[in-house]
Amino acid sequence: MKITYHGHSVVQIDTKGTTIWIDPFLTGNPLATVAADDVKANVIILTHGHGDHVGDTVSIAKRNDSLVIASAELSDWLSWQGVRTHAMSIGGASWLDFGRVKLTQAFHSSGYVDPDTQTIVYTGMPTGILLTIEDRTIYHAGDTGIFSDMKLIGELDRIDLAFLPIGDRHTMGPHDAALAAEWLQAKQVVPVHYNTFPMFKQDPYDFVELLQPGVGIVMHAGDLLDL
Ligand code: NI
Ligand code: MN
């Protein structure tokens, strides 16, 4: 399968005719090299309801008739906007045509903020995502602080590739993310959720130095990886 990174937490996975997008925040993402209008997506998976993760989900999903997978409340809220959804909760897995999706815990918050009306829509628990596709397991941590049950996540599934936030302030910073990588026993780790905005400024190469040799991979927006 082919994995493409689009900056922030945006990951695209192409597997046997199915295109999956995780957290498609493209409009307003200064690192993104593709426009939301050009995205093809059969499936969209969301980690939580913050704007920098829901991003362009509704417009992309409506144009492509994508299936949107998200936690229960986030998925209800999106279904009311005319999107086809598949609701899940933490700890549960679903077997779909392309593979297995399981939602894991994440320590963060989750609400959609509408500054125009000064309202916040509750969108359930924030999550991480485990995807098993073509006998490979990908872990996308979503936005989270470090938690010791990452050891359990690494025990339950052999993780081939992990996307871990390193931006600090709203998620793990580089040192916590490096310990998380160790606990997850991830074979390869790609740092995400950094350098999109000034408050998330990090040097991804410094982060890679904190990992075991050969584990860290720096991907720039538009970069592609074969897995
Ligand atoms: Ni967030
Ligand atoms: Mn975020």
**Residue-wise pLDDT tens digits, 149-164:** 999 999 999 999 999 9
pLDDT of residue 27: 98
Closest-approaching ligand to the CA atom of 165: 2
**From ligand 1's centre to the CA of 16, what distance in Å?**
30
For residue 37, the tally of other CB atoms under 10 A from its CB is 11
Strands 2-5 and 224-226, bridge-based pairing = antiparallel
Amino acid at 176: D
d(CA 166, CA 178): 9
pLDDT of residue 222: 98
Closest-approaching ligand to the CA atom of 112: 1
Closest-approaching ligand to the CA atom of 200: 2
| Adjacent-strand bridge partners of 112 | 121
Spell out, as residue ranges, where the chain has pLDDT lower than 50: none
d(CA 29, CA 39): 14
**Token pair for 171:** 């998620």
**From ligand 1's centre to the CA of 145, what distance in Å?**
11
pLDDT of residue 35: 98
Q: Model's pTM, two decimal places?
A: 0.98
**From ligand 1's centre to the CA of 193, what distance in Å?**
10
Report pLDDT digits (tens) over 61-104: 999 999 999 999 999 999 999 999 999 999 999 999 999 999 99
Alpha helices in the chain (DSSP H): 51-54, 57-64, 72-79, 150-156, 174-184, 204-209
Query: Which residues keep their CB under 5 angstroms from ion ligand 1?
Result: 50, 143
| Adjacent-strand bridge partners of 132 | 100, 137
Amino acid at 140: H
**Token pair for 28:** 């307003």
**From ligand 1's centre to the CA of 170, what distance in Å?**
7
Site of tokens 């998976």: 45
